């Protein structure tokens, strides 16, 4: 009974926190911590300090990249690529938004690309819903593939904290093909979704009004293709991408890292948790010095703000969840251990709905990964089902999905009458399910 009541309090904090937004999710967790420690007498859990420090380092570097104009450079070439291949927009647009997230570690880059995708689709007489819905999905699932994302560095941190010897490159070797493969499967399905525009009676009736037609086929806004960007922006992009390569190499080849004696006097290579922090801070410093960036402007960048929100969410949610689950670890090891052993996909389902509950892959990982490792779940299964940590498309309430609906002036990308029959549901499910299958195959082959 006590465990059930505690679980209800945990869920209540998550539900109320989500209603108040990202930072709200973190601070509302304080109610749960107070109830568990002072009310139930649970020993306070341990906040994921290493993971939080990685998050700070990564979002700081990303903030310097955006402030320097490096992010705009990437978006410029992404737009140029799409406009040079307009007829394949349904396939190439989601792969582009996925790749932008892979490079930058955040799905928020899609806001710039969505109106461009719409403009290309409508001028090619392609139903805008086809490329736009899957592009929004792809931008978010790509978070699980990026070495610069909070979600991926959190997994690396939790695995390292549990003493699991899996490198960042091994993690990416699973998540990159898994998420990209899932996006491609959903994109292929999307090429035939819905009616052709000329056969869509609702759409044709709407554009019969000249004013509506002008609105639907109007200009997309300022293009980045012909925009001149300062050389410092290109330099920042190069510095950032070079840093990602360095992190990958150091993760794959431990002999390149300095070694220090552990508590037993055995020499061990420096942890990747610390390597990631050091390299990211160094990259930010190089961009600051060489790219004419004003440090005070970084705090106002969209990427930095979003990262700090993730930081607070992970801090509060992970601490509260760790406190609750640690108090009932004996039961969880028996129950969840047996469930996962018999039905490995049960972890994927748990991760999926936890993600929807907290509207964040990083926060979901902060809840389910430490718990899974504590009950003895094989790390290979955690990596297999990384794609399942993206479940917040299930209800169309996430900002990128709502923005996608707003950018589609044709009205084809929408929320259905029954809420769940929205434009993102089937592409999202195809993407996640196929991503988990691909991830499972690859993880078991290489780890």
Count of CB atoms situated within 10 Å of the CB of 253: 12
Phi-psi region of 403 (alpha: psi -120 to 50; beta: other; left: phi over 0): alpha
- 441-446: Cβ within 8 A, 24+ apart: 442/173, 442/174, 442/177, 442/178, 443/174, 443/380, 443/381, 443/383, 443/384, 444/380, 444/384, 446/170, 446/173, 446/174
Q: Which residues pair with 268 in a beta bridge?
A: 260
State the pLDDT at residue 333. 66
State the pLDDT at residue 18. 65
pTM listed for this prediction: 0.77
pLDDT tens for residues 91-124? 999 999 999 888 877 777 787 788 889 989 998 9
pLDDT tens for residues 220-248? 666 677 788 899 999 999 998 898 888 87
H or E segment to which residue 95 belongs: helix 89-104
State the pLDDT at residue 360. 78
Report the distance separating Cα 390 and Cα 381, nearest Å.
Answer: 16
Q: Is 231 exposed, middle or buried (0-12, 13-18, 19+ CB in 10 A)?
A: exposed
Give the sign of the dihedral formed by CA 291, CA 274, CA 160, CA 54: negative
The answer to whether the beta carbons of residues 251 and 168 sit under 8 Å apart is: yes
Report the distance separating Cα 266 and Cα 53, nearest Å.
Answer: 26
Count of CB atoms situated within 10 Å of the CB of 121: 26
295: Cα separation from own chain's centroid? 26
State the pLDDT at residue 13. 85
For the chain, which residues score pLDDT lower than 70? 18, 21-22, 219-223, 332-334, 336-337, 340-341, 397
Phi-psi region of 268 (alpha: psi -120 to 50; beta: other; left: phi over 0): beta
State the pLDDT at residue 124. 92
pLDDT tens for residues 57-92? 888 888 898 899 888 888 888 889 999 999 999 999
């Amino acid at each position: 009974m006590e465990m059930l009541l505690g679980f209800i309090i945990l869920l209540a904090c998550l539900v109320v926190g989500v209603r108040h937004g990202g930072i709200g999710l973190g601070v509302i967790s304080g109610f749960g911590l107070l109830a568990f420690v002072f009310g139930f007498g649970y020993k306070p859990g341990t906040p994921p300090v290493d993971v939080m420090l990685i998050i700070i380092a990564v979002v700081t570097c990303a903030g310097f990249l955006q402030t320097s104009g490096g992010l705009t450079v990437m978006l410029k070439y992404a737009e140029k690529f799409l406009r040079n291949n307009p007829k394949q927009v349904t396939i190439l647009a989601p792969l582009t938004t996925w790749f932008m997230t892979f490079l930058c570690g955040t799905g928020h880059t899609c806001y710039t690309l969505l109106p461009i995708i719409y403009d290309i689709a409508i001028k090619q007489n392609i139903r805008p819903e086809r490329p736009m819905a899957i592009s929004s999905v792809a931008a978010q699932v790509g978070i699980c593939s990026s070495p610069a994302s909070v979600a991926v560095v959190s997994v690396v941190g939790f695995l390292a904290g549990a003493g699991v010897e899996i490198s960042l490159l091994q993690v990416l070797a699973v998540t990159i093909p898994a998420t990209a493969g899932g996006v491609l499967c959903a994109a292929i399905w999307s090429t035939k979704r819905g009616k052709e525009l000329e056969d869509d009676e609702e759409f044709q009736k709407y554009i019969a009004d000249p004013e509506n037609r002008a609105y639907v086929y109007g200009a997309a806004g300022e293009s980045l293709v012909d925009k001149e960007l300062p050389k410092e922006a290109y330099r920042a992009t190069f510095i950032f991408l070079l840093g990602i390569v360095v992190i990958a190499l150091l993760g794959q080849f431990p002999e390149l890292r300095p070694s220090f004696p552990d508590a037993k006097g055995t020499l061990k290579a420096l942890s990747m948790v610390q390597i990631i922090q050091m390299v990211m801070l160094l990259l930010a410093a190089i961009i600051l010095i060489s790219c004419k960036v004003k440090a005070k402007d970084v705090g106002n960048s969209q990427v930095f703000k979003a990262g700090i929100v993730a930081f607070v969410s992970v801090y509060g949610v992970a601490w509260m969840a760790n406190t609750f689950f640690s108090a009932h670890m004996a039961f969880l090891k028996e129950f969840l251990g047996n469930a996962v052993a018999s039905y490995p996909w049960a972890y994927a389902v748990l991760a999926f709905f936890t993600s929807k509950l907290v509207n964040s892959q990083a926060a979901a990982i902060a809840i389910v990964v430490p718990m899974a490792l504590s009950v003895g779940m094989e790390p290979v299964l955690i990596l297999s089902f990384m794609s399942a940590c993206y479940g917040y498309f299930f209800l169309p309430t996430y900002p990128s999905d709502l923005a996608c609906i707003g950018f589609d002036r044709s009205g084809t990308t929408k929320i259905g009458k029954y809420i769940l029959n929205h434009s993102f549901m089937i592409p999202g499910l195809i993407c996640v399910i196929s991503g988990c299958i691909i991830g499972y195959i690859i993880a078991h082959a290489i780890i």
